[in-house]
Amino acid sequence: MRILVVGAGATGGFFGGRLALASRDVTFLVRPRRAAALRERGLRIVGAGLRGPEQELRPRLVLPGEIDGPYDVVLLSVKAGALAPSLEDVAPAIGPGTVIIPFLNGMAHLAAIERRFGADAVLGGVVRVFGTLDDNGDVQVLDRISASVIADVVIGEPTGGSSARVERIGKEFSDAGFGVTVSPDILGVMWSKWVFISTLGALTTLMRGSVGEIVTAGGAWLGPALLTEAAAVAAAAGHPLPAATLDRVAAGLTRADSTDTASLYRDTAAGLPTEGDHILGDLTARARAFGVETPLLDLAALHLRVHELRLKPL
């Protein structure tokens, strides 16, 4: 099975790297600057989360314009702002039987991929990995998602149920150094993650601090209030979160010892572009379409739009 990984950042680098280390046929589609760094230093997966020695490989690379034909699976691991150009770059890799699995947050990317390549070309996907690119360009695994699992991926048919192709891909991804689940309700899984990252993103961006700092300052009410709004949108979309899941998330949002922050906050604090429109903007737009009131999430989305305006040149 030929696998093309679009992007070699923390997520693409980790999952694509682990697949390559497990002797799968993996190629990375990257930009020239990233290609130069990978050719000089290699792709390295490092960090305390490994609980073992760092891993290094010399990955097979292609640049935009160099793709030589269709691949069986395309793992799309880019930021939302890079989605449109990435779909153009990857077009020569898409054949009649190619399956695209996007590892993006939110839901809007599914429609974009379907418009470009057709509904049959895309699966739903959710990944969990606590990682980042360090100053050397290495994939830094900061922690494990559980004591026994370093990271995981969930895939499934957007229409629900299972299929021969998704089972085949699940088998190909197994035993590659991360957990793999084939879900009969991948849209439900995607909505669940969207609710969580929207809540944490809105909370830490609005308050400019970690969960613990916000709670200690007297804001223990805010996380659960944001969660209630986000969960109401998911329910209106036909994907209600189980009460046990909501209770677990709410508990994590009220811990005074929590150092959790969201990438939306970290990017804002660093003066970088964010995925605010893709994550919070799209969620609040759907809320309005459903007639669901989300005043706190609206405020967070507005906050991020102001941040993005400040980044634009005068």
| Biggest CA pair distance of the chain | 57
- Structural domains of the chain, ranges and CATH numbers in brackets: 2-184 (3.40.50.720), 189-311 (1.10.1040.10)
pLDDT number for residue 314: 57
pLDDT number for residue 53: 86
Task: Give 10-residue mean pLDDT values along the chain (314 residues).
Answer: 95 96 96 94 91 90 95 95 93 96 93 94 94 90 89 96 95 94 96 96 96 97 98 98 96 95 92 94 97 98 95 76
pLDDT number for residue 220: 97
Of the CA atoms within 13 Å of residue 243, those in its CB half-sphere come to: 0
**Under 8 Å between Cβ of 301 and 284:** yes
Using CA atoms, how far apart are residues 216 and 103, in angstroms rounded to an integer? 34
- Taking the chain, what is the end-to-end CA distance rounded to the nearest angstrom? 48
Distances (CA, A) of 21 to 73, 94, 169: 17, 24, 17
pLDDT number for residue 191: 97
Distances (CA, A) of 148 to 151, 153, 252, 308: 9, 15, 20, 39
The CB density around residue 40, as the number of other CB atoms within 10 Å, is: 8
**Under 8 Å between Cβ of 294 and 235:** no
Of 183, 92, 100, 129, nearest to 9 (Cα)? 129
What are the two backbone dihedrals, phi and then psi, of residue 44, each rounded to the nearest 5 degrees? Answer: -115, 130
pLDDT number for residue 142: 87
